[in-house]
Amino acid sequence: MDFLVMNEGFPLLSVLIFMPLAGALVTMFLPSESAARAWALIVTTACALLSISLYTGFDASTAQYQFGEHHPWISQWNINYTLGVDGISLLLILLTTMIMPFCVLASWNYIAKRVKAFMVCLMVMECAMIGVFAALDFVLFYILWEAMLIPMYLIIGIWGGPRKIYASIKFFIYTLAGSVMLLVAIIALYLTSAPHTFSIPMLMGGQYSSTFQLLVFLAFFLAFAIKVPMFPFHTWLPAAHVEAPTAGSVILASILLKMGTYGFLRFCLPITPLATITLMPYILWLSVVAILYGGFTALAQKDMKKLIAYSSVGHMGFVTLGIFVLNVQGIEGAILQMINHGVTTGALFLCVGMIYERTHSRELDQASGIGKQMPIFVTFLAFFSLSSLAFPGTNSFIGEFLILAGGFSRNLIIAGAAIPGAILAAAYMLRMLQKVIWGGVDNPKQKLNDLNGREMVILAPFLLFVFWIGLGPEPFLSVMHTSVAHLLEQVASAANSTAVVGLMP
């Protein structure tokens, strides 16, 4: 257990994981729907506040997993309940806990039927999502990874738009089909390791033959690439995004997609380094294709949610690009971009939700020219759009800059090919912004109210993070630095022991 700094006393991670679950159980017994709303807000906010102590108590100088908890679970199979965070998962847990209260707030009026059940779904989701980022045992990880699908399926399937059934089943089957192969890979790793273990950190140190690594990598890749989603596994995403209610879209974009890239970082790189290095060029090209494809498709969208969904494909392409260039800037940029995308795209989906609550349409044409009636709203929207297109001074700029810097030091052609993606982002975002603020003023429309207090409270923190990360990213980068360096060491040491030395920086 030398990889794990054991937790003395308060089991912070377990509390963070099970608090929402306990909250969900309590919700079932609450008397009214408004009580359920308030209760969900209390629970998620408490979780968010509690998670801050994760950040303050984190020692950024070591790459060990911290806040560790370790209990035997199913001893016959050597399955344990092991939790711990490093600099990478810490940020993602924080992102999760911070986003959740806003998802509750965004559903305040938007969700009108079966409010209780909705809040239960949200809280169960939170439990599973925090758990996925904190799990250090493969079986625990897999169980939480899959368990997350059920509440999301229900969120889309019950509270979604007109084609909700189609979208939810497609979402479920796609992600599940990917993850069953993940399960096979996990079992294969277990059987190959000696002594047999499901412990993720222990498996990272294992020596596996290159053929075995390749097979495991491909199984991993299928599961994670579907989740990200990478081109050509992305087809479930637009449907799911468009049909999901606002909170569902926010969770999908901000957190669920990150699980795929988190999987690449946590499993593919350290456990199958040789396969990662062998397949790196192909995945980089695939990322470039995703960036360009996402950009072009977003440009053609008339539905705002679809536009943002396709832009996500592009943005996540940048993240995978950053991960697989396999150097410090690239990976740090990728992790930061994961957070950025969570903040920015989450906020954009919230904005679309607010428009939808007023106009009952997500069509860009229907929303055109609302700038005059809703000046505060469009100000927010403008900032988030600028952030999405990586305007200097906003968060995404730092992320994309680091990724491209990492990319250029790896391969000039690939990084160069990704550049038009940034320009495309500017094109589709500005097109949307232009239409919403100034387009078709004579559009006959009912009187639209500008943002109310609750809505401003929802959007303001996102804006804060956009500029905080944009202007002073140091607190975010410093947390992950040691962990990322350690990750690259793991890959490099595996590479050095074989003939592929020349590839490493």
Partner 1 sequence: MLFAPELILLLGSLLLFIFTLTANNNHARKMAVLIGIAASIVSIASINQNGFLFFKAYQIDMFSQLFKVLITISMTVVLLFSNEMKDITPRMKPEYYLFLVLSSLGLVMLVSSVELITLFVALELSSFSLYLMVPMRDDREGLRTQMEAGVKYIMFAVMTTGIMLFGMSYLFGLTGTTYLSEIADLLPKLIKEPAAIVGIAMVLSGFLFKLAVFPFHFWVPDVYQGAANETTSFIASVPKLGAVAILIRITMLAAPEGTMIVKLLVICAICSMFYGNLAALVQKDIKRLLGFSGIAHAGFVLLGLLTLQQEGYATSIFYIVGYVLMNMACFLVLCQVSKKGENIEIADLSGLYHRSPLMAFTLATGMMALAGIPPFVGFMGKFMLLAGALQAKQLTLVILAALNTAIAIYYYLSVLKVAYCDQPTATDAIEVNFTTKALSIALILAIITMGVIPEQMLTIANQAVAALL
Binding site for partner 1 (CB under 8 A): 73-77, 139, 142-144, 146-147, 149-150, 153-154, 157-158, 164-165, 168-169, 172-173, 176-177, 180-181, 183-184, 187-188, 190-191
Whether the Cβ atoms of residue 100 and residue 11 lie closer than 8 Å to each other: no
Q: Least distance (Å) from partner 1 to the CB of residue 48?
A: 25
Q: Least distance (Å) from partner 1 to the CB of residue 124?
A: 11
Q: Least distance (Å) from partner 1 to the CB of residue 146?
A: 5
Integer Cα distance of 326 and 487 in angstroms: 10
Of 143 and 492, the one with the shorter C-beta distance to partner 1 is 143
**Block residue for tokens 């929402």:** 20
Whether the Cβ atoms of residue 10 and residue 57 lie closer than 8 Å to each other: no
Integer Cα distance of 161 and 167 in angstroms: 9
**DSSP conformational letter for 244:** S
Q: Is the dihedral of CA 110, 112, 114, 116 positive or negative?
A: positive
Q: Least distance (Å) from partner 1 to the CB of residue 440?
A: 36
Of 150 and 492, the one with the shorter C-beta distance to partner 1 is 150
Of 63 and 149, the one with the shorter C-beta distance to partner 1 is 149
Q: What are the residues facing 74 on neighbouring strands?
A: 79
The two tokens of residue 86 are 């490093």
Of 27 and 388, the one with the shorter C-beta distance to partner 1 is 27
Integer Cα distance of 362 and 309 in angstroms: 13
Q: What is the 3-state secondary structure (H, E, C) of 5-62?
A: EECCCCCHHHHHHHHHHHHHHHHCCCCCHHHHHHHHHHHHHHHHHHHHHHHHCCCCCC
- Cβ atoms within 10 Å, residue 195: 6
Q: Least distance (Å) from partner 1 to the CB of residue 72?
A: 9
Q: Least distance (Å) from partner 1 to the CB of residue 320?
A: 24
The two tokens of residue 114 are 């079966």
Of 256 and 398, the one with the shorter C-beta distance to partner 1 is 256
Q: Least distance (Å) from partner 1 to the CB of residue 135?
A: 12
Of 145 and 384, the one with the shorter C-beta distance to partner 1 is 145
Of 137 and 455, the one with the shorter C-beta distance to partner 1 is 137
Q: Least distance (Å) from partner 1 to the CB of residue 177?
A: 4
Whether the Cβ atoms of residue 258 and residue 350 lie closer than 8 Å to each other: no
Of 117 and 321, the one with the shorter C-beta distance to partner 1 is 117
Sheet of 4-6: strands edge to edge? 4-6, 65-74, 79-85
